[in-house]
Amino acid sequence: MADIENVNTTGTSVKQVEDTEPKWYVVHTYSGYENKVKADIEKTIENRKLQDQMFEVMVPLQEVPEMKNGVKKIVSRKMFPGYVLVKMIKNDVTWYVVRNTRGVTGFVGPASEPVPLSEAEMRALGVKTDDVVEIDVEVGDIVKVVSGPWEGTEHVVKEINTNKQSILVEVDIFGRATEVEISYSDIKKSN
């Protein structure tokens, strides 16, 4: 953690702690806006190139059985309606981006001050926080996709995101080169 010194309104110096490690934070949204807030934050991350400060945005879902017209179906429901989880390094920029996203009412914490979730809380949500997978792939290497929608294709690695445990490759969609994110678990290095 880095210490930042600010001067408050009384003129006295106040030390503020800024995170240097990414943590999960809970963001309160208007009910029904969770997916829109998630999409807007992800778009802002992309547009402002904040991938090194903001790593993942998630709306926790759970599978629940539902009976409709006498037929049992499994549907995904939001675990916490009105809340979105954001994995980020807390600083003035990331705080501003989240707080000023349309549909966000604030962070969960005292006086809307972001309080990170513990690893135990994240594990309870089904999010693994300590299983970091290392891969033997570098930018420029050719990888083969072994599962998912691009299974059986080979691509050149454009970017590696260790926090999201994914790589960025370029694929051809309708004759246009499009960047696609693929999980470590869906690839293997080509020989």
**What residue ranges of the chain are covered by domains with CATH 3.30.70.940?**
2-124
d(CA 162, CA 137): 11
Show the tokens assigned to 105. Answer: 């009412």
Q: Which helix (H) or strand (E) segment is 136 a member of?
A: none
3-state secondary structure 157-170: EEEEECCCCEEEEE
CATH of the domain spanning 142-189: 2.30.30.30
Contact of 176 with 160, CB cutoff 8 Å: no
Return the residue matching tokens 């920029």: 93
User: How do residues 161-186 score in pLDDT, each as one tens digit?
Assistant: 876 778 888 888 888 888 888 888 88
pTM equals 0.58
Nearest to 39 by CA among 57, 27, 52, 23: 57
d(CA 130, CA 40): 27
The arrangement of secondary structure in 2-124, i.e. its CATH architecture, is 2-Layer Sandwich (3.30)
User: How do residues 108-158 score in pLDDT, each as one tens digit?
Assistant: 888 878 889 887 787 777 665 555 566 788 888 888 888 888 888 888 989
Residue type present at position 18 = E
- Which pairing describes strands 166-173 and 2-7: parallel, antiparallel, or unpaired? unpaired
Flag whether pLDDT at 98 surpasses 80: yes
Maximum Cα–Cα distance across the chain: 68
Coil, strand or helix at 107 = strand
How far from chain centre, in Å, is Cα 62? 18
**What residue ranges of the chain are covered by domains with CATH 2.30.30.30?**
142-189
DSSP H helices in the chain = 34-47, 92-99, 119-124
